A = this chain, B = another copy of it.
């Protein structure tokens, strides 16, 4: 149905749960959290309105679960990439950025919903998600700190650099088209270069 994104939530065990989560992601992506109705979600999930409530106690909690899954996947990708990268900050930053970009491209809608609809979460759910996100951003901040310490990165504004980098990458979700000028790989390469340049890393010439 949506050719730009693979299903975000895998179909393990409780089958309908995954179906509903993916339907909700799609609905929220199309119309926003407040613009999409539970009926929309039910229709996309191919089930009845009332059956939704057998899986999620409220619309808000449904959104929370959608965002939790999205963030989980993003975090996993980034952590794996960093773990598999070399030891120097530049390599690690490059791989972290590539992974982040990969997620944004693979799950464009999830990224959009993630950034635009967090605010509609109930306070507790929002706090939990923000904490998770901060932790992902923390991974980038650590790499920045490492690079500054090692002299690889010379930016005088290290404290905010990770956020600046992630803002730019996150925004990709709002304009990237898979059939556009840049391939998935080229985009990742480009963003990595932007990131390292922003950090004033010693770039290869």
A111: min CB distance to chain B, Å: 13
A131 contacts partner chain B, Cβ-Cβ < 8 Å = no
A193, B156: Cβ atoms under 8 Å?
yes
- Residues of chain A from 1 to 60 with CB closer than 8 A to chain B in the complex: 31-35
A161 contacts partner chain B, Cβ-Cβ < 8 Å = yes
For the A-B complex with A155-B194, A164-B168, A167-B171 known, give 6 more contacts whose Cβ atoms are closer than 8 Å: A32-B34, A160-B190, A164-B191, A168-B168, A168-B171, A197-B200
8 A–B contact pairs at CB < 8 A? A32-B34, A32-B120, A34-B34, A164-B168, A164-B171, A167-B168, A197-B198, A198-B198
- How far is it, in angstroms, between the C-alpha of A67 and the C-alpha of B142 when the chains are bound? 38
A118: min CB distance to chain B, Å: 10
**Which one of A33, A163, A164, A167 has the highest number of Cβ atoms from chain B below 10 Å of its Cβ?**
A164
Main secondary structure of the interface of A (DSSP, over half): helix
A170 contacts partner chain B, Cβ-Cβ < 8 Å = yes
Residue of B nearest to A195 (CB): B198
A1: min CB distance to chain B, Å: 19
Q: A120-B32, A171-B171 are in contact. Are A194 and B190 (CB under 8 A)?
A: no
Q: Which residues of chain B are within 8 angstroms of A182 by Cβ–Cβ distance?
A: 160
- How far is it, in angstroms, between the C-alpha of A194 and the C-alpha of B199 when the chains are bound? 8
Q: A167-B171, A171-B170, A171-B171 are in contact. Are A157 and B194 (CB under 8 A)?
A: yes
- How far is it, in angstroms, between the C-alpha of A35 and the C-alpha of B199 when the chains are bound? 39
